[in-house]
Chains A and B, each alone.
Chain A
Amino acid sequence: MKKTSTLILLAIALLGLQSCNSNDDDQTASILDGTGITLDGDVDCCSAEEALQVYKFLKTVKIIPELSTEVDGKYNVFAYSKTGKFSVGYNEIYFVAVKKGTGNYVKNFDVTNLSPLMTMTAMNMKHSTPVGSSVDSFNDKYLAVKRGWVSFLMASTDKDFWVLSYDVKVLGHQKTVADASFSVEALPQGQTWLQSFKTGDATYFISLVDPQNYQIGSNSISAYVSKKSNPATQPYVVAEEVFTIEIVPTMPDMGGHSSPGNEALTKQADGTYQGLINLTMTGYWKIDLTVKDKEGNVIAENIHFDVTI
C-alpha cells in the first residue's frame, strides 16, 4: 500500500515536471499531492526526486516543534528525532529547511554550534553533554537533511532542565536559536547507554549508538568517546585520544551467561568506535567494558552498558 502511494506520488511529481518543461502557461507549478510541496523548478530547492527522498525519510522520524524555528520569515527549519522525543544517551537529531510558500525542501543549508545545556537548579550548576563534532548530511548527494547527535547525560526533571542552542544559515539568511527548552526522558529499566570514566584529570563519556536495533545473533556495535569540556558548559566534543574498549556481554539473570566471538570497540578514521557484539537470546544484557589506552594499559573497568532487547 505504502509503495503504491509512493509510486503515485512520483508519477504526479514527474507529470508536474513535464508540464513545467512544456511551458504550459496554465500550469507553471504542480503540487506533490498531500505534502504541501510545490515543485516550481526553483534551483535552491529539491527536484521532485530529491523531494520525494526527503519526504520518505521524514515519514520515519517525528518533529520536535520546540526546537524548530523560522528564518527571516522566508524559511522554516524543522528539527526531528526518531521518536519525536529525546532520552538519556545517544540521540540523533535531524534538520530540514523548507521554503515558505512553496513548501519545498531547501537543497542545502548549514546547522552549526549545536549546544545543549543542562541547568540543575537545586545544585546551581550548569553543564553540557557529549555532542557530535558537526551536523552533516547523510552523503554528498543527499544534502537536504542534516544529521547530528547529542548524548544526554541525564533526564529532565522539575528542577533540572535542558535547553538547546544552534545556528542555522539558509541561503544566506542566518539565525541563532538560543536556549530552546525541551525535555529528555529517562531510559526504562535495563537500558544504560552512556558511561563515563576518568583518566588523569580528564573525564570521558562513552555513548553507545542505537542499541535498540540489536537483534539475536551478531550485531555491529558502535560508540563515541567524548571528552568533558572545560568549562563544562561547552559541548563535550569527540575525544582525540585513542582507546580500545573491550566488551563482554553477560546475562546476570542467567548466572552470568556470556557469548563468544565479541570484538572490542576500536577507533575508526571517522572518529567512531566499531566492534562486534554477539547476543545469544533476547532479554537483559549487561555489557561489561574495559577501557585501555593506546599502550594497552587498563584505565577503566567495572563499568557497563545495559541493553535489553
Chain B
Amino acid sequence: MWTAVVLAIATIIQPADTATDRSLQLDEVVVVSGSIQGVKRSVKGQVASIEEHLLELNHTDVVRRGSYAWEPVVNNMQSERVSTTIDGMKIFYACTDKMDPVTSYVESGNLQSISLNSGLNGNPQSTGNIGGSLDLKLRKVGFDNDAFRLNVSAGHEWNGHLQVYGADVALSSHRFYTNFGAFYRHAGNYEAGGGQTVQFSKFGKVNAFTNLGYRLAENHILEGTFIYDRATDVGYPALNMDVYKAEGIISSLSYRWQFSHPFLNSWETKVYYNHITHVMDDTTRPDVEIHMDMPGKSWTTGLYSILRASNGHHNASVNYDIYYNRLFADMTMYPGGAAPMYMVTWPDVGTLNTGLALADQISLAHHQSVGLSAKLAIQSQQLNNYEGYQALKVFFSGMTDAYHQVIGRVAAHYAWSPENWKLTIGTGWGSRAPTVTEAYGYYLNNTFDQYDYIGNPRLKNESAIEVNGGIQWHPLPLLNLQWDANAFFFSNYIIGEFETRLSSMTVGAEGVKVYYNQDHAKIINTSLSADWQPLEWLKWTGQISYALGHDAQGDNLPLISPWAFQSRLDFLFNRFSAQISVKGNARQAHFGHKYGEKETSGYTILNLSAQYNISVQKTLLTLRAGVENLLDKTYSTYSDWNNIPQKGRNVYVNLSVSL
C-alpha cells in the first residue's frame, strides 16, 4: 500500500546542468580535456586515473589497497552502500576481496564525466544507494560534432615510473558518429616518502573502447558501446595476494526517441551485457604458507528504459530497469603434499532485480524549488552452486537456496535561493538488500581486521533515514561560503561481528566474523568550504570536513574520515595556470578500535601543479606538470588499507594533443 503512495507522490531528479539548479547533493567531475571553465577536474587532466578524478568530488574518498583499483567511498560509505553504474548500466565486481571496484574496469579515456548523487537521492538506475550513487558517463562524441578529431595523450610519473598513453579518434556527421581509442597504463613499484619502495605495488592495464551512434530518422537514434579492459600483474601491497588478471567486457545498445513535444523530451531504452573475470595470484609472493587460486566471475545483463519530460516548471523522468547478475567465486588451496582444499566462496548467486523509479524537479515561485525522487525494486536471488549452498547450510541449517527482497527509497529536498543566499534541506528514506558477500560469502578473509567473514542469509534489509541541509552565501560577488551536512540514521545496519563458536579457516586469522544486523547506527558528514577570487588571476579555495560514525553501542565505526582539510591557490593567466595546494588529515582520534581499525596519524602534504595551453586553429595542446607530496612526507590516510604508505614525492608531466 505504502509503495503505491510513494510512487504516486514521488519522482526523480534529473541533474540539471545550470549551476543554479544544482542542489548541494549533486556533484560532477569532468574527465575529458577541453577548456570549459567552472567545472571540477583533476589537475592532472585527462590522463589522471578514474580514482584521481573521483577524489575531486565532494564527500568522496577512496579505499586504497595498492596503487590501482581504489574503492570509491561516498559519505564515508563503501561499495556495499554506494551504487556505481556505467552510463546507467549495472555492473558488479568479481573479487571477493574487493580488489576490483567496478570503476577499475573503465579508463579515463572512456569517460566524459562522473556524476555523484549524494545520499538517497540516487540516479534512476541506482539501487541500494544509501551513501550515494556514482554514474560514470561515457564519452560519446555525438552527432554534428567536428567531422574528424584525433586526441593523443601521454604522461609520465617519476615515482613508480607510471606511463600513460592514450589515443582516440572521433568521427561525426549529422547521421553518424563514432569514437574509438585505446589506453595503456603501466607502473612499477612506487616509493613511499623517504624513498622506501613499496613492494607489490606495480600494475599494467590496457583498455580499448568504441562508441557508435546512428540516426535512423531525424529523432530516432541508435547508440552502441563496447569496452574491453584488461589489467594484469596488479600488485596489492595491503593484501596477501596480487592479481594475475582482471578483465572486463562492457557492451550496450540503446535506442533513443527524441520528441518535439511541449513536455515529453526523450525516451531511451538500453540493453546491456558485461562480463568480468578476476584471477588472483600469490605465486610471486615470498613466504606463502599455502598457495591459493581464487578466481571470481561476474556477469550482468539488463535493460533500462527512461522517459524524460520537462516544461517550465517540471523536469521529470520515469525509469524502468531490470537486470540479472551472476556472481561466482571459489578457492583452491594447495598444501604441500596433501590433497587440495576447495571451497566455493560465492555460491554462483543469480540476482534478478527489477525496479521503477520516478523523479521530478519542480521550480516554484520566489526562487524556490522542490525535488522528489523514489524507486521501488524487487529482487530475487538463487544459489546455483549446490556445493556452496550445502557448505553454508552447515552454518544456517534452516536456509533455503532462494531469497526475495523488496528495496525502496524515497527522497525529497527543498531549495530556496534568495539573493546572495541558497538554502537547501532534504530528507529521505531508503533500504538496501545485503550484498552477496554479506548474505552468502564463505570464509572471506579480511586483511583489515584479520578475520574470516561468513555471510548470513538471514540478514534483514538495511535501511536508513537521511537528513541533509546546506547554506551557500555570497557576501561579496567573488566570495562564496558554503556549509553542508548530512546524517544517516541506520536501522538493521549490516556489519560483521565476532562469532566465538566458529573457528577461522585462514592461517593466522583472529577468528570468524558473521554479518549481523545491528539495531541501529549513524554516520554524519559535514563540510565547510569557501572560494574567493580577490584578483582576476588569483583564486583561493579551502575546505574543511568532518565525519563521525557510531554503531548501536555508540562505538566508532571503521573507515570514517577524521578532520580533513585542503587549501589551494590558483594562479590563472591566459594560457597558463598553476596551483599550489595543501592537503591533510588530522589524527584519526575516533578510529574503530572494536572493528580492528588502527589509529592513523595526521599528515599534511604540499602539491604543486601547472598547465599550459596552446591552441592553433582547431589544434589544442595542453602540457601539464606538477609535483605531488613535494616535501616527500611518509604518510598514510585513514582509508589506506592496513595503513600502507602513500606515494612519496612524485613528479609528473603529461601532454594532451587534440587535432
Contacts and interface: CB of A to CB of B under 8 A. Distances in A.
Given A217-B394, A218-B393, A281-B343, A255 B504 contact: yes
B338 interface: yes
A193 B342 CA distance: 22
Interface centre among A189, A217, A254, A255 (most CB of B within 10 A): A254
A188 to B, nearest CB: 9
Interface in A183-220: 189-190, 215-218
Interface in A252-274: 253-261
A65 interface: no
Interface stretch (B199-207, B505-513, B639-647): B505-513
Contacts of B507: 254-255
A255 B343 CA distance: 16
Scoring B393, B394, B508 by chain A CB atoms within 10 A of each residue's CB, the highest score goes to B394
Contact of A190 (B338, B393, B508): B338
A52 B389 CA distance: 36
B339 A282 contact: yes
Contacts of B403: none
Contacts of B391: 216-217, 280-281
Interface residues of B, number: 28
B503 interface: yes
Main secondary structure of the interface of A (DSSP, over half): loop
Contacts of A284: 335, 338-339, 341
Contact of B394 (A256, A261, A308): A261
Nearest to B443: A280
B290 A253 contact: yes
Given A260-B501, A280-B443, A218 B390 contact: yes
A84 interface: no
Contacts of A278: 394
B508 A283 contact: no
Nearest to A215: B390
B335 A283 contact: yes
Contacts of A216: 342-344, 387, 390-391
Contacts of B387: 215-217
B501 to A, nearest CB: 6
Given A253-B290, A254-B505, A261 B338 contact: no
B459 to A, nearest CB: 19
B333 A280 contact: no
A170 interface: no
B339 A190 contact: yes
A256 B335 CA distance: 13
Interface in A228-270: 251, 253-261
A260 B290 CA distance: 23
Nearest to A253: B335
Contacts of B341: 251, 253-254, 281-284
Given A258-B503, A260-B395, A260-B501, A308 B339 contact: yes
A261 B502 CA distance: 10
Contacts of A283: 333, 335, 338-342
Interface string B43-61: 0000000000000000000
A261 B393 CA distance: 11
Contacts of A308: 338-339
A218 B503 contact: no
Interface in B370-422: 387, 389-391, 393-395, 397
A63 B95 CA distance: 49
A280 B390 contact: no
Interface string B318-349: 00000000000000010101111111100000
A72 B338 CA distance: 51
B394 A282 contact: no
A280 B342 contact: no
Interface residues of A, number: 24
Contacts of A259: 394, 503
A219 B425 CA distance: 57
B397 to A, nearest CB: 7
Contacts, number: 86
Contacts of A255: 504, 506-508
B505 A280 contact: yes
Given A260-B502, A282-B340, A308-B338, A254 B333 contact: yes
A281 B339 CA distance: 11
Contact of A260 (B339, B344, B394, B505): B394
Contacts of A279: 394
Nearest to B504: A257
A308 B342 CA distance: 11
Contacts of B290: 253-254
Contacts of B333: 253-254, 283
Interface centre among A218, A253, A281 (most CB of B within 10 A): A281
A308 B339 CA distance: 7
A66 B394 CA distance: 44
B397 A261 contact: yes
Q: Quick one: which of B333, B391, B504 has the most chain A CB within 10 A?
A: B391
Nearest to A278: B394
A259 B394 CA distance: 8
Contacts of A261: 394-395, 397
B506 A254 contact: yes
B503 A257 contact: yes
Interface string A265-309: 000000000000011111110000000000000000000000010
Contacts of B397: 218, 261
Interface in A105-148: none
Contact of A256 (B337, B343, B395, B503): B503
B554 to A, nearest CB: 31
Contacts of B393: 217-218
Contacts of B506: 254-255
A108 to B, nearest CB: 40
Nearest to A251: B341
A263 to B, nearest CB: 12
B394 A218 contact: yes
Given A261-B397, A280-B394, A253 B338 contact: yes
A76 B342 CA distance: 46
A284 to B, nearest CB: 5
A255 B333 CA distance: 13
Contact of B343 (A258, A260, A282): A282
A253 B506 CA distance: 10
Nearest to B508: A255
B500 to A, nearest CB: 11
Interface string A165-196: 00000000000000000000000011000000
Contacts of A253: 290, 333, 335, 338, 341
B457 to A, nearest CB: 14
A215 to B, nearest CB: 7
A255 B509 CA distance: 9
A75 B343 CA distance: 51
Interface in B504-562: 504-508
A258 to B, nearest CB: 4
A189 B335 CA distance: 14
Interface in B477-519: 501-508
A254 B443 CA distance: 12
A116 B390 CA distance: 39
A132 to B, nearest CB: 30
Nearest to B507: A255
Looking at A189, A251, A253, A308, the one whose CB has the most chain B CB atoms below 10 A away is A253
Contacts of A189: 337-338
24 contacts: A190-B338, A216-B390, A217-B393, A253-B290, A253-B341, A254-B333, A254-B335, A254-B341, A254-B506, A254-B507, A255-B504, A257-B504, A259-B394, A260-B501, A260-B502, A260-B503, A281-B443, A281-B505, A282-B340, A282-B342, A283-B333, A283-B338, A284-B341, A308-B339
Among all A-B residue pairs, the 4 with the closest Cβ atoms = A217-B390, A283-B341, A253-B335, A281-B343
Given A215-B390, A284-B339, 11 more contacts: A217-B387, A218-B390, A218-B397, A254-B341, A256-B503, A281-B342, A281-B443, A281-B505, A283-B338, A283-B339, A283-B340
